[in-house]
Structure 1
């Protein structure tokens, strides 16, 4: 798949968090639970992937199919309620039995009860409004995407850029960035290079919370040059916003909440 060149005004997408020193620890492997999922503002089914970690020499997928998953919400009056605890299970993927209609401004989280009665809970994250994509314009081999973000608060974004030639996918890339530097202007500019005539570009913008932003930043940094989003979730040593309520320790994975917008255009 071809490589895109993605820039946002004054903010390089790959510069996400403070620098850290790489360490290669010598330790004995210990099996852990890994949870991942993303609830967006779109009416849709909500999916949560749950698996066990495996040694780095083992490339098999170790699904967990015997836990109880519950999705909760809390409204602006701070009243909590159960959204759903009915999930269909397929090879570690838990999907709500019915479509969910999220409410902007509510907070959402999941609780997972393991077979040993341990309860794992994600951080309560607010569902932020979607950030509208205003336009996509091609100039030469560069597509300029304009979107409108509020200037009264700092926003954090997960962006997906897909490129198609007819029915064939030729690129599918993710990036994260924040608008701290460019937040003095309402309209933000994102430039995507290496787009040819006859190709279709789909941009999906997720308005995420800070902890989820950090998680995806770490995932993408560890991903290296591996293509595609499916490779974001091998059992690697990345923690996000999920806590073991018995030990009060963070575990591997993240369940994020995101305002969602998208635009597709042929060039």
Structure 2
């Protein structure tokens, strides 16, 4: 009889535990709104565009909400320390602010933005130099690996440089593929015949067909260290998301993978002195076509 009671009790306990494991529960997670700011200023005498969005709660059907009522000011400082306001005039479309006029830049000047939200919250990006252009001398498809584009240039001597490389593929004038990568010049510092090999299809999934293309556009951007570090973090986040995707199949090794990188850049919330999400990149570009 005693053994029978024990078996009955164990069966009841197992049933309760199983029911507990499969019970649906509602998740009530407090949401702290985060403002996300992205922008890039180039030397190409073009309008500058800046995206401002805010995060939404976990149960929202969208990830971000466009901010259309902010005020943006673009500033510069010359080598003598004189500060000038460049513009506050922007058109707004779904959270993307585009300057009404092209922005002319000066090498060795610093540039930054200041953003004020409708509620008075203020943000300021770090002052970044418009660095000298590092010109592309040639772009060529690798003779051995036809999916690799070699970008050749002369790396400045005795200066630590950080590069953002962008490759775009076109077919009959239409953009069919685009990717970017980042690099420093530790290996080839001062080399007059420096070269970076870029995988043309780096960001394509393995099951995606390779796009047909008849033209290539390559951009070599000389950037500041803070923006380079942000790009590295962004790359780590992308790769972490890929590793933890559906194809991982519940691999137990994912329990020990690198935690997601917080994509904090060079923009500070002045109201609480905290670094916010996003980045405002100042970049000098050299562009070549093939």
Gaps of 5+ in 2: 1-28, 202-209, 243-260
Q: Which moved more, 1:160-169 or 1:208-217?
A: 160-169
Residues 43-52 or 140-149, more deviating: 140-149
1:30 is matched with: 32
Aligned counterpart for 2:196 among listed residues 183, 190, 196: 190
Which residue does 1:207 correspond to in 2?
Answer: 222
Pairwise CA distance, 1:192: 3.7
Spell out, residue by residue over 1:21-70, the C-alpha distance to the aligned partner (whole angstroms, 9 max, x if none). xxxxxx74311100000101110101110000134564344100111100
| Equivalent residue in structure 1 for 2:44, among 42, 52, 61 | 42
Judged with a 3 Å threshold, the aligned counterparts in structure 2 of structure 1 residues 219 and 198 are, in CA distance, closer, same or farther, namely: closer
CA drift at 1:243: 0.6
Q: Do 1:158 and 1:206's aligned partners in 2 also have CA atoms closer than 8 Å?
A: yes
Q: Indicate conservation of the 8 Å contact 1:41/1:129, yes or no.
A: no
> CA-atom RMSD, angstroms?
2.4
Quote how far apart the aligned CAs of 1:168 are.
Answer: 4.0
Distance 1:218 1:184 in 2: 26
Structure-to-structure mapping, 1:167-186, within 5 angstroms: 167-186=173-192
Counterparts in 2 of 1:241 and 1:198: CA distance versus 1, 3 Å: closer
Q: Contact 1:211/1:241 (CA < 8 Å) preserved in 2?
A: yes
The number of residue pairs the alignment matches comes to 231
For residue 64 of structure 1, the aligned residue among 64, 67, 78 is 67
Bigger share in helix? 2
State the match for 2:276 in structure 1.
251
Contact 2:168 2:175 (8 Å CA) reproduced? yes
After TM superposition, the structure 1 stretch with the greater mean CA deviation from structure 2, 244-253 or 74-83, is 244-253
When residues 145 and 245 of structure 1 are mapped into structure 2, their CA distance, relative to the original with a 3 A threshold, is same
**Long gaps (5+) in structure 1:** 1-26, 227-235
- Change in Cα spacing, 1:98 to 1:169, as seen in structure 2 (3 Å) is closer
Which residue of structure 1 aligns with residue 266 of structure 2? 241
Structure number with the higher strand fraction is 1
SS of equivalent to 1:223: helix
Deviation at 1:198, TM superposition (A): 6.4
TM-score, normalised to structure 2, is 0.73
Give the TM-score normalised by structure 1: 0.79
Question: Closer, same or farther in 2 for the Cα pair 1:88/1:201, shift >3 Å?
Answer: same
**How far 1:104 moved relative to its partner?**
0.8
Q: Find the structure with the greater CA-based Rg.
A: 2
Look up the match of 1:90: 93
For 2:169, which of 134, 139, 163 is the aligned residue? 163
1 CA distance for matches of 2:30 and 2:183?
A: 35
Give yes or no for the alignment of 1:126 onto 2:133. no
Shift of 1:144: 2.3
Provide closer, same or farther for how the CA distance between residues 258 and 193 of structure 1 changes in structure 2, counting only shifts above 3 A.
closer
Q: 1:246, 1:143 → 2: CA distance?
A: 45
Q: Which has the higher contact order (CA 8 A, sep 6+)?
A: 1
CA distance 1:143–1:119, change in 2 (3 Å): closer
